[in-house]
Amino acid sequence: MMTRNTRRIQLVVATVLLLTIAVWAYRQRESAVVTLRLGEPYELVQKASPVLPDRNRGWGALPEVIAKFRFDDPVYGFTTPRSVILDLGMGGPDNRNVTSIRLSPQTKPLPLDDALSVVANIQDQLHRSGWRPFQYSEMRAIEDTPQLRSDLHECRFPMSVWNGGDRYQVSLDVGCHSVPQQPGKERYIVTLELGPPFWTDRSGE
């Protein structure tokens, strides 16, 4: 017959086990990374990044993927902080290859200083890896200036475009997520897109 003390011990052991599993699952989520090279079959990307869903589960689950992102290129590689993976573009034979990715390098809307810090970190990596920012006035590197902050407070979104040689292009933009009735509560969302060149630089304009 089970004694009260034995029952208590079993409950304690079960609780510890559940907590251990919960901590493990949390750490797995915290350390999740999506790693890819553009042009790879999705199956290879998913194998290297188990946080991504199987293709046969459909793409509905993709917006729920939260992970760091690592562009695995020997020259133009870069990483992001924990991000919401929004979309993967597919192409090639039978639409099996990953040709682009769109993500938000944050997990929630951020105050302006924090959002600009995310942008600065990514742009610094791009610069050090040999990416070249557009010279077109509407798509230059995003710089933290009084004019930029004024534009963002008015929800005028800056956009920055960078070329990685003639194969890759990154666009970064900052959108406002503000509540007009709550001054000082403005929040901002950074979006990053990586894929083949789409935009054309118009230097001098």
- Mean pLDDT across the chain, nearest whole number? 82
pLDDT at 127: 97
pLDDT for the residue 137:
87
Task: Give the tens place of pLDDT for each residue, 111-140.
Answer: 999 999 999 999 999 999 999 999 988 899
**What's the CA gap between 120 and 141, in Å, rounded?**
9
Banded pLDDT at 203 (limits 50, 70, 90): confident
Please give the pLDDT value at position 97.
92
Boundaries of every domain in the chain: 1-31, 33-195
Phi, psi for 176 (deg, rounded to 5): -90, 150
The residue among 38 and 13 whose pLDDT is bigger is 38
What sign has the CA pseudo-torsion 49, 53, 56, 60?
A: negative
Q: Which long-range contacts (CB under 8 A, 24 or more apart) does 8-17 make?
A: none
Name every residue whose Cβ is closer than 8 Å to that of residue 5 and which is 6 or more positions away in sequence. none
pTM greater than 0.75: yes
Q: What is the pLDDT of residues 152-165, one digit of tens each?
A: 888 888 999 999 99
CA-only gyration radius of the chain, Å = 22
CB 158 within 8 A of CB 148: yes
